Structure formats: C-alpha cells, structure tokens
Amino acid sequence: MLIEFPRTGSKNFAFHFQCFVEIGIFSDNWKVAVVKMIPKPGKTLTKAESYRALEEEQRYKAAEQEKILLEEEAKLAEEAKMVEEATRLAEEQHIREEELLRLD
C-alpha cells in the first residue's frame, strides 16, 4: 500500500500511523483482520493438519523465549548473590587481618 503512495504521501501516512500507535487510537476498520491459511510444505491442501497455526506457533516460541529469559535471569540473580557473599566474606577477612595486624 505504501509503495503506491507518492513519496510525500507515504511519509505523511507513516507519520500519522506512528502517532496513532503511540496514542492508541485505531479505526474500527484497522481492527478487522483477514486470516489466510499457510499450508505446510509438501502436504495435501484438503486436510486441516496440512496447515500450521502461525499464531499458536508464535505464542509457543514466545513462551519458550520467556522461559529461557526467566532461567537466565534466575542464573544471573544467583551469580549476583554469590558475588555479594564472596565480597562480604572477603571484606570480613580483610577486617580480621587488619585487626590482627593492629594487635601485633
């Protein structure tokens, strides 16, 4: 659609579209979608199993990515705790060594 606009028209449309997205105002016509089935390669087009549900596949991938991110965050949090503990122990050791040096 934007390709058919003149250069200035597509810039104006893109600007207005960006404003609508930022403000959250959408025409009712923009809320209507046409769903097209995408067949799996090499499958018979007359069977339902021959088509993939992209939304479901995308949701699954997003959930997997979210799971990986949560696992990574948990690992980082655990590593941060270990670093804090090691720093605390090193500081305590340093304080004990300084106290021993003062006693001598």
pTM value is: 0.39
Nearby residues of 37 by Cβ (< 8 Å), 6 or more positions away: 51
For CA atoms 18, 24, 29, 33, the dihedral sign is: positive
What pLDDT score was predicted for residue 92? 92
What pLDDT score was predicted for residue 12? 75
What pLDDT score was predicted for residue 74? 92
What pLDDT score was predicted for residue 75? 92
- Encode 76-100: b = buried (16+ Cβ within 10 Å), e = exposed: eeeeeeeeeeeeeeeeeeeeeeeee
- Could you say which residues of the chain have pLDDT below 50? none
What pLDDT score was predicted for residue 34? 72
H or E element that contains 38: strand 38-39
3-state percent breakdown (helix, strand, coil) of the chain, nearest 5: 75, 5, 20
State how far Cα 26 lies from the chain centre.
Answer: 24
